[in-house]
């Protein structure tokens, strides 16, 4: 039920001078709910009707069919509409109680695929906070579009190809220790990589050796391939441990290496379309007409392909494999020039579906207000950080609810949820400061705050032994419950807005508002007291918990029933 539209319709009936859409755009939500739920300003009619706005307002207020509303009144130049709370709350509550977690499901996608390029860490390198952001934001967006009837395809475009693997092979053959790598894959491989780079500065022959090994790898040499495979497998063991902690999974781990045999086609296509030009021995595509200054570098003078060549092959492969409605790349803002080039080259190739590709960028995370820098030792190591978040959550739970049954699982849900929620509540283009204490706090705009509101409602419902009766009419008309009803009614639109803007923060902020509105209600209303309204209050609580849990699920955050 769209109440705004209902009001616009009623106004249009008595103001034929204005189109219904114009009215819809003019309707305002008053700052203070004493002024109604929606207000129509009469200013724009003054010219047309040659009357003072105050007069127009009171004329309209008189003519409007008020039977649909609690009250319609003119105040100065505004007509204020008070919706019929009893009627609307009954409708909204019955919708949520009947649908449960399916409430607000929509079929905009009709089962079409949306590809998400997400997480995509580099083999043998540490999983960075940027990779975490990509993982968490994309996973949430995938949940959001699934709720709208699309089929999300989560693709981990691993950085598992490139000359650095030649370096790594040389280093491992010289100094590597199998057991050390197996015990601590990323740290050990990184050490080897750092060392070979340092030594290559003194001894350029190492570079030449590395290039040779990468050439062998590209040609499918057995030793090179099995070492590469092993580096990849060992790194993935570590990454997967993290994905497990985060409760994120993928439909595909096809990374850059997967496209090794699919790049010739790209180069041939570019050639056939006459798009390749030579520049200092390299093959490039000029993109001036897209306002892009730097040409896309497709092939180096030594014949080696590049990051963008692999991304071109990946884009085409995804279009063919998934016939995506949209293809989303959740990658840090520092790669925005790359994705502009990628889209433009595909467009040049005549692929209009390049318009369906979006780089969903995000900002940088700082720590203690300073930029992260491995060199300066300002780093966030994810596994120990998650463990720390979980242990902080555990001690808060210990203090609040020492007899809780499954403390460990709840602490995990709260600790991990806290990190995810903090990331997701920020507009993604804004970075944030990684502040574990603020993240895990039960107060403020945090994950634990929302989770706690949900758990509190569950405990009220348990105490009341409330069960849903879909044949019953639950209805409320007090001001505090009305704030909650309006929010719940808004949930379907909120999800669409989050999806349109690729912005999970819209859901996170919504969850905070709903939790706050409920806490306010709880402070004013003795929900469990005997009263003719008791069942409706419980139904409202139940509906709030349902929507809170669903909003958290869209963010990839669990909602324990007790905490």
Nearest to ligand ARG of 329, 449 (CB atom): 329
Q: Which residue has the tokens 């395809």?
A: 153
Helix axes 185-202, 164-175, angle to 10 degrees: 100
Nearest to ligand ARG of 121, 448 (CB atom): 121
Mark the segment that binds ligand ARG (CB under 6 A) among 21-29, 45-53, 100-108, 117-125. Answer: 117-125
- According to DSSP H, which parts of 465-504 are helical? 479-500
Q: Give the end-to-end CA distance of the chain in Å, rounded to a whole number.
A: 35
Mark the segment that binds ligand ARG (CB under 6 A) among 7-15, 118-126, 348-356, 416-424. Answer: 118-126
Instruction: Tell me, residue by residue from 76 to 115, as one string, x for binding to ligand ARG by CB under 6 A and - for no binding.
Output: ----------------------------------------
Identify which of 206, 171, 202, 214 has the alpha carbon closest to the alpha carbon of residue 189.
Answer: 171
CA dist., res. 397 & res. 99, Å (int): 32
Contact status: 354 vs ligand ARG (CB under 6 A): no
Nearest to ligand ARG of 329, 518 (CB atom): 329
Nearest to ligand ARG of 312, 506 (CB atom): 312
Using the rule CB under 6 A, which residue among 10, 234, 311, 503 binds ligand ARG? 311
Contact status: 331 vs ligand ARG (CB under 6 A): yes
Instruction: Tell me, residue by residue from 146 to 185, as one string, x for binding to ligand ARG by CB under 6 A and - for no binding.
Output: -----------x-x--------------------------
Mark the segment that binds ligand ARG (CB under 6 A) among 119-127, 190-198, 244-252, 354-362. Answer: 119-127
Nearest to ligand ARG of 154, 486 (CB atom): 154
Using the rule CB under 6 A, which residue among 122, 309, 475, 536 binds ligand ARG? 122
Distance in Å, CB of 339 to ligand ARG, minimum? 8
Contact status: 544 vs ligand ARG (CB under 6 A): no
E strand map for 404-549: 432-433
Instruction: Tell me, residue by residue from 465 to 484, as one string, x for binding to ligand ARG by CB under 6 A and - for no binding.
Output: --------------------
Distance in Å, CB of 315 to ligand ARG, minimum? 8
Identify which of 206, 305, 199 has the alpha carbon closest to the alpha carbon of residue 262.
Answer: 305
Mark the segment that binds ligand ARG (CB under 6 A) among 120-128, 267-275, 446-454, 513-521. Answer: 120-128
Identify which of 245, 232, 147, 217 has the alpha carbon closest to the alpha carbon of residue 185.
Answer: 232
Nearest to ligand ARG of 259, 449 (CB atom): 259
Nearest to ligand ARG of 342, 457 (CB atom): 342
Nearest to ligand ARG of 53, 332 (CB atom): 332
By the 10 Å C-beta count (0-12 exposed, 13-18 middle, 19+ buried), 395 is classed as exposed
Q: What is the 3-state secondary structure (H, E, C) of 269-299?
A: HHHHCCCCEEECCEEEECCHHHCCCCCEEEE
Distance in Å, CB of 331 to ligand ARG, minimum? 4
Distance in Å, CB of 364 to ligand ARG, minimum? 13
Number of residues that bind ligand ARG (CB under 6 A): 9
Distance in Å, CB of 342 to ligand ARG, minimum? 8
For the chain, give percent helix, strand, coil, nearest 5: 60, 10, 30
Identify which of 130, 171, 551, 103 has the alpha carbon closest to the alpha carbon of residue 333.
Answer: 130
CA dist., res. 521 & res. 548, Å (int): 15
CA dist., res. 512 & res. 424, Å (int): 12
Contact status: 59 vs ligand ARG (CB under 6 A): no
Contact status: 120 vs ligand ARG (CB under 6 A): yes
Q: What is the 3-state secondary structure (H, E, C) of 183-237?
A: HCHHHHHHHHHHHHHHHHHHCCHHHHHHHHHHHHHHCCCHHHHHHHHHHHHHHHH
Using CB atoms, what's the residue nearest to ligand ARG? 159
Residues 250 to 309: which contact ligand ARG by CB under 6 A?
none
Nearest to ligand ARG of 311, 423 (CB atom): 311
CA dist., res. 94 & res. 474, Å (int): 7
Identify which of 177, 188, 126, 118 has the alpha carbon closest to the alpha carbon of residue 153.
Answer: 118
Distance in Å, CB of 122 to ligand ARG, minimum? 5
533: its two tokens: 């309204």
CB 50 within 8 A of CB 31: no
Mark the segment that binds ligand ARG (CB under 6 A) among 116-124, 271-279, 363-371, 538-546. Answer: 116-124
The contact set with ligand ARG (CB under 6 A) reads 117, 120-122, 157, 159, 311, 329, 331
């Amino acid at each position: 039920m769209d109440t705004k539209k209902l009001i616009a319709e009623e106004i249009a009936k008595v103001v034929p001078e204005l189109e219904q859409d114009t009215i819809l755009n003019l309707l305002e939500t008053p700052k203070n709910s004493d002024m109604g739920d929606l207000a129509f300003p009469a200013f724009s009619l003054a010219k047309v009707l040659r009357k003072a706005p105050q007069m127009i307002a009171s004329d309209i207020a008189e003519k409007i069919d008020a039977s649909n509303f609690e009250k319609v009144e003119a105040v100065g130049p505004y007509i204020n509409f008070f919706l019929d709370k009893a009627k609307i709350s009954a409708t909204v509550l019955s919708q949520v109680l009947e649908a449960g977690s399916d409430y607000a499901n929509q079929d905009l996608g009709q089962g079409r695929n949306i590809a998400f390029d997400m997480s995509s860490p580099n083999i043998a390198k540490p999983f960075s906070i940027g990779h975490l952001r990509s993982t968490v934001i994309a996973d949430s967006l995938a949940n959001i579009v699934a709720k709208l009837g699309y089929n999300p395809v989560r693709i981990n475009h691993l950085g598992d190809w490139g000359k650095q693997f030649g370096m790594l092979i040389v280093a491992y053959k010289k100094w590597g220790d199998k057991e050390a790598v197996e015990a601590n894959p990323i740290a050990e491989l990184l050490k080897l990589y750092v060392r070979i780079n340092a030594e290559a500065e003194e001894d350029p022959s190492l570079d030449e050796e590395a290039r040779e090994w990468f050439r062998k790898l590209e040609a499918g040499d057995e030793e090179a391939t099995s070492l590469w495979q092993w580096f990849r497998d060992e790194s993935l063991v570590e990454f997967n441990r993290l994905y497990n902690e985060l409760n994120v999974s993928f439909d595909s781990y096809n990374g850059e290496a997967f496209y090794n045999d699919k790049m010739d086609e790209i180069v041939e296509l570019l050639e056939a379309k006459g798009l390749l030009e030579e520049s200092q021995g390299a093959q490039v595509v000029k993109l001036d007409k897209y306002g892009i200054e730097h040409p896309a570098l497709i092939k180096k003078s030594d014949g080696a392909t590049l990051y963008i060549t692999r991304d071109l092959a990946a884009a085409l492969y995804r279009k063919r494999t998934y016939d995506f409605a949209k293809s989303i790349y959740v990658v840090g803002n520092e790669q925005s020039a790359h994705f502009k080039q990628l889209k433009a080259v595909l467009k040049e190739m005549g692929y209009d579906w390049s318009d369906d590709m979006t780089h969903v960028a995000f900002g940088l995370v700082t720590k203690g207000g300073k930029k992260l820098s491995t060199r300066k030792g300002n780093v966030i190591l994810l596994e120990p950080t998650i463990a720390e978040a979980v242990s902080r959550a555990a001690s808060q739970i210990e203090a609040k609810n020492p007899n809780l049954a499954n403390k460990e699982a709840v602490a995990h849900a709260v600790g991990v949820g806290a990190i995810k929620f903090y990331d997701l509540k920020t507009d993604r283009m804004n970075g944030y400061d990684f502040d574990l204490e603020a993240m895990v706090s039960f107060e403020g705009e945090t994950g634990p705050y929302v989770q706690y509101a949900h758990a509190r409602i569950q405990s009220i419902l348990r105490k009341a032994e409330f069960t849903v009766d879909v044949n019953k009419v639950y209805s409320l008309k007090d001001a505090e419950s009305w704030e909650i009803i309006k929010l719940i009614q808004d949930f379907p639109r909120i999800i669409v807005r989050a999806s349109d803007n690729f912005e999970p923060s819209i859901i996170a902020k919504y969850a905070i508002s709903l939790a706050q509105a409920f806490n306010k209600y709880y402070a004013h209303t003795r929900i469990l007291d005997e009263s003719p309204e008791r069942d409706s209050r419980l139904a409202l609580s139940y509906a709030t918990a349902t929507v809170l849990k669903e909003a958290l699920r869209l963010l990839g955050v669990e909602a324990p029933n007790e905490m």
